[in-house]
Amino acid sequence: MQLIQYILRRLLYLIPVIFGVSFVIFILFNVVAGDPTPLLLGKNATASQVEELRHQLGLDRSLAAQYFDIVKSAFTFDFGRSWATKQLISEVIVNRAYPSLTLTVPAFVISTILSILISLVVAYYRGKGLDTFIRVLCISLMSVSSLVYILFFQWFFAFKLGWFEISGYEEGFPNFLAYTMLPGIIWIILSLGPDIRFFRTVILDEIYQDYVRTARAKGLSEITILLKHVLRNALIPVITYVVIQIPFLILGALLLESFFDIPGLGGTILQAINSSDFPVIKAFAILSSIAYIIFNLITDILYAVVDPRVKLN
């Protein structure tokens, strides 16, 4: 009952937050950005053409009416039509979400599990050669630009060896695997460095706590202590780190989708930016903000699940 009340209260808090986010987005796109019609029509557009386009896009209405449209879209998820393609933005998002998720979700799950397992091994062999090697490897992986990985892997594994498709996408399982495996591997490599360093730090912080010394004094093995006690107590920062990244999976992987020509949400955002398609950009800004708030709520609930000492107030 307490959990339900907490969830309902947090969902009510979502309403003023949405109003605030909508206002910030409105200021950025409708006030600060100025009139987009010259960008859409070009420098040689006549005054009558500008006025006609402003009327078509609804930019000649009052600022209050335009702000209300943004607020309404945040609650109804009806974002209107794209300026560039004239498609319904909600349909574009639904159609493009599938390719993005087939890339980001498997890569994210695999990289997270691998990072936690490697971090446990490194923590077990802390201060030894394996620990030093993994730390140096993590720093090395993080020091290389993502563009280097993308270009090298495309050239070597796709073009030279022919193991993967260089670009494109085909819907349906397992057809999409041929196109998402290589960018997925790159995602995993890019994630391992920062993830392992974070998880290792969190686990080592727990290893030096008093309860671990007590467990050793009782004769428990190091592996038992690590898996049964340390990992459980380290779950709160791990959950925070992992769950907060989930909303960004929905938005896709912009660089990977662009270079591998995957028709996902990341490429849609890039196209919208290049064509000054403000409605699409505003839609993604609103959705990412709402997703971030919702997953923050999920994080707090998971805290109480993994640690009974956490009270939801």
Exposure b/e, 98-126, CB count within 10 A at least 16 = b: ebbbbbbebbbeebbeebbebbbebbbee
Q: At what angle do helices 278-306 and 89-124 cross, to 10 degrees?
A: 40
At 264, is the pLDDT very low, low, confident or very high (cuts 50, 70, 90)? confident
**How far is it, in rounded angstroms, from Cα 49 to Cα 300?**
52
What residue has token string 């073009």?
159
How far does CA 155 lie from the centroid of its chain?
27
Could you tell me the residue ranges of all domains in the chain?
2-76, 89-306
Torsion-angle region of 200 (φ positive above 0: left; ψ -120 to 50: alpha; else: beta): alpha
At 33, is the pLDDT very low, low, confident or very high (cuts 50, 70, 90)? low
Q: What is the per-residue pLDDT across 284-294, written as a single tens digit (0 to 9) for each?
A: 888 888 888 88
Cα of first residue to Cα of last residue in the chain, in angstroms, is: 12
Cβ-contact 79, 282 below 8 angstroms: yes
Return the pLDDT at 188: 92
Q: What is the per-residue pLDDT across 151-172, written as a single tens digit (0 to 9) for each?
A: 899 899 888 888 888 888 888 7
**How far is it, in rounded angstroms, from Cα 236 to Cα 225?**
17
Mean pLDDT over 80-84 rounds to: 81
Q: Please, what is the Cα angle at 265 between 259 and 269, to 5 degrees?
A: 80
**How far is it, in rounded angstroms, from Cα 105 to Cα 306?**
23
Q: Does CATH place domain 89-306 in 1.10.150.120?
A: no
Mean pLDDT over the full length of the chain = 82
Return the pLDDT at 54: 75
Mean pLDDT over 104-112 rounds to: 91
Residue 88 bridge partners (DSSP): 81
**DSSP assignment letter at 82:** -
* Range with the poorest average pLDDT among 55-59, 90-94, 185-189, 306-310: 306-310
Q: What is the per-residue pLDDT across 116-142, written as a single tens digit (0 to 9) for each?
A: 999 888 888 888 888 889 888 888 888
